[in-house]
Structure 1
């Protein structure tokens, strides 16, 4: 139990200490006009209160990832919690902060333009395609997951729930942000908080032994290697590129740059706490990796969520907890499609005030999303995991480029960018969906790619070149 609360305390201290360091390095300007003021349109650029933005940002980024990912990651043992804490403080929260603040500084631009402004036109075009593909994968994953859970709770089949959820997503994508998202997310947030606190309290009150397999060794029942698989499996809650597609949505609603640290860095810390809770539940409720693996074999993470919630909180409390788990992916899936619409709109320079123009983009997006939803969920999840971490890697390099151009200490973004380069390349080289190489060869390629990327970055942004960039601007 002390191990769990120590990890939670470490995340909170990370926000107070390292979050302040990151904020100081970036240098928010409270007197600088934000896009919510200078570009207000009543649809996407709408100023909201910091409290509401924080809650919406948390719900936007906290999809199935900080629940399903940590449950699967719990198979590796308590080392999963260390990755959540370190990854969140030094990687994920830094990533989310820069994706939000760079958008805030550049007219609320979406992630392809934010990256392109820092790394060049090639990355701008690459990110336009890559981020839209990722968002479609996210939208579909966050339809299928909650549809299965709702199917278990009701007499309706999963395909019916898929249709219902898609219908909601469509409305949330085309209506002004304050009409649905701005109104119902506070209620969603209350359910989410109940879920997190209620399940943790019940685990303690009912006398479950926290982390019965108290070892940092890899205890995965199937013998899967911790490196790099755990770093891909546990993305949301540690570091997730999907968040970079969500932060610009809220950057368009922020009234003052001084709110950046709690809204972007802080929301990621909140997601880290959720991930810690579910990793702990996975390890402690079943009292062992083998038992957890057996539960997963019965119906995947959705079965585990249902089993844990109803056992710990009873039928009524369990229902609320499961609803909270359903809300998380739905409140990310709707904004995934909304972000995809805005990225395409930015590329086409198509104003979105008129609903007809929003429909022109939304209808094709949802048609493609529905077709993707017919594919195997497990396959979609694996591709999503790699694409997610690859996007996070690119955004961190973009944050490092911004800092070095501003002649500020860039290592707070450069080091996690290099590490995530190693993770993503190793996974692609090792996994069956990639090149299926041996782990030693894949690891060598991953760290070689990280070293080459770091050297290329430092060479591209050498002091003389940076001075020339500053002079030209």
Structure 2
């Protein structure tokens, strides 16, 4: 089996889905290009900033991609390439894409507020509080895990550290020139991309070697500043420019596969139970961002919805970005599937990113890029996107924390609604967890993240029903993800209890209980209350 066919199959399926299913969703949900978005109505110059779709797509894609669609498919390859590929394609089109598009659109229709506020408006304060607690705890895991991943990468690859710091400075200059000095986006992009790759080269010339803990401290300071600064000065331009690294990486990988045409050595299917793990439900949890991720709903309803300038762009940014991520996930699967089992086992000792970097470096070498340079470039790109996910997660947690303590009926708000206080709390707790190492909390992250997706699907379905729109395309994905993630949590609780890891039993038990209560609340609306009052037509 030629690996090229796998990549072409996924690309064709995603293009067809975007043109057909994506357009159908937009029609069913009532996308209205003439309607003002929160970015236009509020436009505070900090969080609400109308943004050109090309820039916002880059920011959104960079934020949701991270290392998830790379790690997941590589790790899930233990079950064989067929089930992984099928879930990437089917999941991205009918589950993840619908989830991301729906979360972004729902937030736009709720003044750019988070999914927690969507739940508040459609399921009541109790549902909002439960979901906010769930989302905040999950994002703490994201902050802790990605802080440790980025710090470890910077310590191991000093060139990536110095390049990333230069990226940040470049982003500030780019944002200032485009948004304050009137430099055209086209000219700015050309100059910015050239300087971006110059930063990559300078990183190799001037590597910055520091310890892991030192980098954790530096990253804590950075994410505090990044999550409170106006989006136009750092977050948005940095993610936009960094997206070109990812586009170049994907393009280079696909071109290399076309020229190389590597054969698939991985078995099509290895079994329902592999290394003590069950295909159901673990395949759907392990693939994670490659098919669906709850983190995406927080990005879409947290930062992206506050920047979208026209509702018609929601399809491109919400649905389209998830399909592009599906292509990246397919490439990641190929990097694990084209090598022998023995080679894969050896490469996995360096982690999934090592498998991916080695594979893409090999593919790029087929059109003249030296393997060592190609592999290092891929590792740098992945670390850049892990950093993007890190500061986005911190900003999202700030939004959720503030919304939780907001009281519209009071003139004087709680100190916890202050952006600096809420950010500091997230940064301090996340940093503390990061110092202890993410390996202890990582096993529950996958289940928590996918369960978050199931709850977001539930929130979107309830809102669509309350407003008289077609919600049936969300019911099957929602029920499926709830069954998958609750089953995975039960297995996790059982394994940790047997191993005596009682602290890791408490967290999944809390997540399980919160999810069941929220699912029960949503069920009473979707399946039982046909006469429920419609929400305001403003939604």
Output the TM-score relative to the length of structure 1: 0.88
Partners of 1:66 and 1:341 in 2: CA distance: 25
Residue number in structure 2 paired with 1:391: 452
2:124 equivalent to 1:110: no
Partners of 2:428 and 2:520 in 1: CA distance: 43
Residue number in structure 1 paired with 2:440: 379
Cα distance, 1:433 vs structure 2: 6.3
Segments of 5+ residues of structure 1 without an aligned counterpart are 438-449
Residue number in structure 1 paired with 2:243: 189
Cα distance, 1:14 vs structure 2: 1.6
Count residues with an aligned counterpart.
454
Cα distance, 1:158 vs structure 2: 2.9
Residue number in structure 1 paired with 2:278: 225
Cα distance, 1:462 vs structure 2: 5.5
1:77·1:215 contact (CA, 8 Å) conserved in 2? yes
Residue number in structure 2 paired with 1:425: 486
Cα distance, 1:308 vs structure 2: 3.5
Residue number in structure 2 paired with 1:132: 136
Output the TM-score relative to the length of structure 2: 0.78
Residue number in structure 2 paired with 1:320: 377
Secondary structure of 1:257's counterpart equals coil
Residue number in structure 1 paired with 2:346: 294
Cα distance, 1:348 vs structure 2: 2.8
Partners of 2:219 and 2:372 in 1: CA distance: 24
State the Cα RMSD in Å: 2.9
Per mean C-alpha deviation after superposition, the further-off stretch among 91-100 and 428-437 is 428-437
2:219 equivalent to 1:165: yes
1:429·1:435 contact (CA, 8 Å) conserved in 2? no
Partners of 2:536 and 2:238 in 1: CA distance: 46
Partners of 2:311 and 2:128 in 1: CA distance: 25
User: CA distance change for structure 1 residues 128 and 434 in 2, over 3 Å: closer, same or farther?
Assistant: farther
Partners of 1:235 and 1:376 in 2: CA distance: 21
1:244 corresponds to which of 292, 297, 302: 297
Secondary structure of 1:280's counterpart equals helix
User: CA distance change for structure 1 residues 455 and 41 in 2, over 3 Å: closer, same or farther?
Assistant: closer
Partners of 1:436 and 1:180 in 2: CA distance: 44
Residue number in structure 1 paired with 2:424: 363
Cα distance, 1:454 vs structure 2: 8.7
Residue number in structure 2 paired with 1:331: 388
Partners of 1:229 and 1:90 in 2: CA distance: 19
Cα distance, 1:2 vs structure 2: 1.2
Residue number in structure 2 paired with 1:440: none
Secondary structure of 2:309's counterpart equals coil
Residue number in structure 2 paired with 1:469: 533
Residue number in structure 1 paired with 2:333: 279
Partners of 1:338 and 1:245 in 2: CA distance: 10
Cα distance, 1:112 vs structure 2: 1.0
Partners of 2:521 and 2:239 in 1: CA distance: 43
Cα distance, 1:6 vs structure 2: 0.7
Partners of 2:258 and 2:218 in 1: CA distance: 37
Cα distance, 1:240 vs structure 2: 0.5
Partners of 2:486 and 2:36 in 1: CA distance: 40
Secondary structure of 1:45's counterpart equals coil
2:47 equivalent to 1:44: yes
1:269 corresponds to which of 314, 323, 333: 323
User: CA distance change for structure 1 residues 435 and 40 in 2, over 3 Å: closer, same or farther?
Assistant: same
User: CA distance change for structure 1 residues 187 and 462 in 2, over 3 Å: closer, same or farther?
Assistant: closer
1:8·1:276 contact (CA, 8 Å) conserved in 2? no
